[in-house]
Amino acid sequence: MRLDEQTRPDFPILARVINGYPLAYLDSAASSQKPRTVIEAMSQYYERNHANVHRSIHTLGEEATELYEAARDRVQRFIGAASREEIVLTRGTTDGLNLLADALCLPLRAGDEVLITEMEHHSNIVPWQMAARRQGLTLKAVPITGEGLLDLDAFGRLLTERTKVVAFTHVSNVLGTINPVPEIVRRAQRVGAITVVDGAQAAPHLALDMLPLNCDFYVFSPHKMLGPTGIGVLYGRRSRLAGLEPTRGGGEMIKEVWMDRAQWNDLPWRFEPGTPPTAEAVGLTAAVEYLEKLGMERVTEHERALTRQALDGLAAIPGVTIYGPRSGIERGAVAAFSVAGLHPHDVAALLDAEGIAVRAGHHCAMPLMRRLGVVGMSRASFSVFNSPDEVARLLGAVAALRTVL
């Protein structure tokens, strides 16, 4: 049985009919749909267990705390982290990257450098820009090659003793490029730079293991991996987390407070101020359990087959331009393309008229769009519930777009 045949009945929203057509949801890179187990787990939490977590003696408070902390344990195993103290629960990838930009740049001095890449999402650009302005830092970007790969020769030239942080995406949300994380980390370590990896487009699709990746920090969003919105994961190597000063204050992140000072809580709670997203943590646990039951190797194989089908089909359509690596290079589960003579928004609207949901625009990657010389593009992305038939529908609809010109 194909993976989509096994999983589709688990996703209630896929029964919808859009504009008279069965929904073909090809926009999981923006946010994936949720299986019934995630929806029901969160609903049951609110019906039976809801209370504020930690410091509660009553039954509901203890139940809620146990459920919240169980998510941390589940994520630790899912990504191969060494300990639960290395898992910080945030509000999303963007929140985690902002936290790291604030905390990592706080002790840096004017003239120190932060290195990012041309293929980054705005969430891995703007926080570093803001920190650089505050601290007088220099922000540099590694260019991409004509194939859409990271230019590792240029990376080597830009990496110097002044480089204090290297922040880069594991998988490009536009190009699908899978960057060689261990190699980049090894090079950064030679100059003593801290590494931050945006894993938002990798965690839903690839088996993760923090030991061989060897990065200092890794962040991702459960809502892209069948889980809920409003929660994120920040992995931090324990030695690195312990050396960071919290930049956000409030309840839970403290151990004791006086009028003139405060003592921070232990790891990881010192980086989790305020009321945490407990229901979302319950949903995160359910999403991880769902993916683990499927098997991440099987997930990767299924989505790569769909991506290859889409890329090969799009390449055969006159007037269609594909962006990102093509032949012989494994890539993420996205296929970004443009149709000559049509604005990406028009492409998306015409596809939606046939029940096919794709993303269109700059994909929160304006510097990359400028590098590619386009204002935007359309993007199909795939998940465990997508089928070869849906990809065929996409290809047929894109081919038919030429007739509207």
Write out the DSSP string of 68-112: HHHHHHHHHHHHT-S-GGGEEEES-HHHHHHHHHHHHHTT--TT-
pLDDT score recorded for residue 328: 58
pLDDT score recorded for residue 327: 64
Tell me the CA distances in angstroms from 40 to 16, 130, 279, 327, one per residue in order.
19, 40, 11, 42
- Is the overall model pTM greater than 0.85, yes or no? yes
Beta bridge partners of 139: 114
pLDDT score recorded for residue 403: 73
Tell me the CA distances in angstroms from 116 to 74, 167, 181, one per residue in order.
30, 5, 13
Half-sphere exposure of 250 (CA within 13 A, CB side): 9
pLDDT score recorded for residue 402: 77
DSSP string, 230-272: S-EEEEE-HHHHHTPPP---SSSSEEEE-SS-EEEPSTTGGG-
The span from the CA of 210 to the CA of 78, in Å, is: 10
pLDDT score recorded for residue 14: 98
> Which residues of the chain are under the pLDDT cut of 50?
none
Q: Spot the catalytic one: 154, 364, 369, 374.
A: 364
Helix (H, G, I), strand (E, B) or coil at 138: strand
The span from the CA of 405 to the CA of 403, in Å, is: 6
Active site residue 105: no
Q: What is the pLDDT of residues 27-37, one digit of tens each?
A: 999 999 999 99
The span from the CA of 138 to the CA of 271, in Å, is: 26
The span from the CA of 177 to the CA of 169, in Å, is: 9
The span from the CA of 174 to the CA of 336, in Å, is: 6
Bridging pattern class, strands 87-90 and 232-236 = antiparallel
pLDDT score recorded for residue 405: 62
CATH superfamily label, 3-30+295-404: Aspartate Aminotransferase, domain 1 (3.90.1150.10)
pLDDT score recorded for residue 40: 98
Token pair listed for 403: 């007739």
CATH assignment, 40-292: 3.40.640.10
**Percent of the chain having pLDDT more than 70?**
99
In the chain, list all ranges with CATH 3.40.640.10: 40-292
Helix axes 388-401, 296-315, angle to 10 degrees: 20
Place of tokens 């970007």: 141
In the chain, list all ranges with CATH 3.90.1150.10: 3-30+295-404
pLDDT score recorded for residue 348: 98
pLDDT score recorded for residue 252: 87
pLDDT score recorded for residue 10: 98
